[in-house]
Structure 1
Amino acid sequence: MTDGKVNTLAALQELIEVVAKLRSPDGGCPWDLAQTPETLIPYVIEEAYEVVDAIKSKETEAIKEELGDLLLQVVLQTQIASESGQFALAEVAQGISQKLIRRHPHVFGDVSVASVDEVRQNWEQIKAAEKGESSPNNQKLSAKLSRYGRTLPPLMAAMKISQKAAAVGFEWENIDGVWDKFHEELGEFQQALAEETPERQQAELGDLLFAILQLARWYNLDPSAALQGTNQRFVQRLEKMEAVSDRPLSDYSLDELETLWQQAKAQIAKEL
């Protein structure tokens, strides 16, 4: 056990030193030196999604590699912060350890819990107290929903926001009302495309997407999984098209591409 801990600490220290060298003005990497916390945001998001994809694949090597890429983002962010005296990796690790201890009084203290729900309730109450907020049960709905909008991916945030709003009664009486809202938003989007500014068009597109998500919620469908499936099917069909093509797809006419598309679609349907 001791050797394992030493190896882990040594490996982490090596990573810290490698990243510090990459950021060193004396012989470091120009790309790494040019990065800021803000420019690295897309990579943090991308690496997190790639970890999720690897976990779903259940491939051990892929999971290990992608977790490493995500860990790099943590170390790189803390390296940049340490260069301006903000904080270091040790403070980040210590901070999360202390938070886990505080929020698990049933493990590290003398609190008793009878269910997972009680654990979750305690966590939220302790979290609110730490942030100087009122109990989650007493927080204004808008404050909760604002946090979802800031911190979650848009599709997930929209579903969370609509679910929480519906839970307090801000909801249609039946599915017909949801469909009416969808058609209303579709009409407003079409009108904006014909007559309004790009800003209004963007806003109406957002309203239309939000209405579609309400339909998904009422029919108990997962919009993120649905869109992910569509993305995968689109790529699969392109792969089939390229497999039977004797030249780049860009050299085909639109009618030829449509024919190849329909053939690929039919072939995939037979394979299911």
Structure 2
Amino acid sequence: MTSNPTLDALQKLIEVVAQLRSPEGGCPWDLAQTQATLTPYIIEEAYEVVDAIKTADSSAICEELGDLLLQIVLQAQIASESNQFTLAEIAQGIGEKLIRRHPHVFGDLEVNSIEQVHQNWEQIKAREKGQTPEQTQQLSYKLEKYARTLPPLVAGMKISRKAADVGFEWDSIEGVWEKFHEELGEFHHALKHETPAEQQAELGDLLFVIINLARWYDLDPEAALHETNHRFVRRFSKLEQACDRPLSDYSVEELETIWQQIKRELAKRQEVESE
């Protein structure tokens, strides 16, 4: 029988992961992991795949997809050890789902637009989950899904937009700013007088209002924070290069002086490059 390189490579990966999880000669770190402890790595690897795609570097995309695939195989291996499910069941399940939800490809249904494809998908999905179309059309059903499954900044923007679309909205931007100052005051109060849980709740309220401010000004808070993170790292790299001894040997005032100088230099360089 002719060998299939893809299946052979996948089988090899499965065997490697099984060995890493083996009580006899396996890796202590891998053996210590659970489905729950690995969830941060799934998210991290997914973001690294997206970052690689943005660079259009095919070798980086291939490598990062491999790291993401490892997380799936690891989850399947751990689940199989307690007889929950196997990698085969994962693959079979998603294959059958795709066939069910694409009757216009694998059945006799005819569609004339992408919107029809989406509507059919949602109807089939609702039937599979035992839900009525009325339930799935409720806005709260969609908002809850956003809150549960999306990264918080993305979820916050989608939730606020959907709520605004049905009229749950401030009359003007002034109202949003008033809410911002109200939440900022409540956050300050919580930091002085409330429990850590209440402080975190107030911080969440403040962040949600900032997301709404971004929406009103047609700004992308996720992209903004993404750029700020990169900008900070660039400046911090320059800070390390400018220092001739460990950063801990400098005073806060000395580091701040160097930091501000670096900011001015980078800003001036950006002005020159943009001309």
Q: Give the equivalent residue in structure 2 for 1:270.
A: 268
**Is the deviation greater in 136-145 or in 247-256?**
136-145
Counterpart in 2 of 1:224? 222
Summarize the alignment of residues 114-193 of structure 1 with structure 2, pairs less than 5 Å apart: 114-135=112-133, 139-193=137-191
Structure 1 pair 136–106 and aligned structure 2 pair: CA distance change class (3 A): farther
1:182–1:208 CA contact under 8 A, matched in 2: yes
Match of 2:32 in 1: 34
Contact 2:46 2:68 in 1 (8 A): yes
SS at match of 2:171: coil
C-alpha spacing 1:83/1:138, structure 2 compared with 1 (3 Å): closer
Q: Deviations over 1:46-82 (max 9, x none)?
A: 1111111111121111111111010000001001111
Count of aligned residue pairs for this structure pair: 270
Matching residue's letter, 2:124: I
Partner residue in 2 for 1:65: 63
The two structures have a TM-score, normalised by structure 1, of: 0.94
Give the whole-Å Cα distance in 1 for the aligned partners of 2:141 and 2:98: 24
Which has the larger displacement, 216-225 or 143-152? 143-152
Q: Which runs of 5+ in 2 are unaligned?
A: 271-275
For residue 230 of structure 1, report the CA deviation from its aligned partner.
0.4
Which secondary structure state, in structure 2, belongs to the residue aligned with residue 110 of structure 1?
Answer: coil
Query: Matches of 2:10 and 2:129 in 1, distance apart?
Result: 31
| 1:252 matched residue in structure 2 | 250
**Rounded Cα–Cα distance in structure 1 between residues aligned with 2:211 and 2:33:** 36
- Identify the residue that residue 208 of structure 2 maps to in structure 1: 210
Separation in 1, partners of 2:45, 2:141: 29
Deviations 1:198-254 (A, max 9, x none): 222111111000000001111111111100110000111111112222112221111
Matched residue SS, 1:247: coil
Residue 37 of structure 1 aligns to a residue in which SS?
coil
RMSD (Å) for aligned C-alpha atoms: 1.7
Residues 136 and 220 of structure 1: CA distance in aligned 2, closer, same or farther (over 3 Å):
farther
Amino acid of the structure 2 residue aligned with 1:211? V
Report how far residue 118 of structure 1 moved. 2.0
Partner of 2:273: none
Tell me, in whole angstroms, the C-alpha distance in 1 between the residues paired with 2:136 and 2:55.
41
Using structure 2 for the length normalisation, give the TM-score: 0.93
Q: Label 1:207 to 1:145 Cα distance change in 2 as closer, same or farther (>3 A).
A: same
Please report how far the alpha carbon of residue 197 of structure 1 lies from its aligned counterpart in structure 2 after TM superposition: 2.0
Q: Secondary structure at the match of 1:173?
A: coil
Per-residue deviation, residues 22-53 of structure 1 (Å, max 9, x unmatched): 11112211211111111111111111111111
- Asked if the contact 1:128/1:136 (under 8 Å) is kept, the reply is no
CA–CA distance in structure 2, aligned partners of residues 107 and 267 of structure 1: 58
Runs of 4+ in 1 over 6 A off after TM superposition: none
Do 2:49 and 2:61's aligned partners in 1 also have CA atoms closer than 8 Å?
yes
**Cα displacement (A) at 1:195:** 2.1
Map of 1:15-54 to 2, 5 A cutoff? 15-54=13-52
**Does structure 2 conserve the Cα–Cα contact (< 8 Å) formed by 1:182 and 1:211?**
yes
Cα distance in 2 for partners of 1:256, 1:47 equals: 37
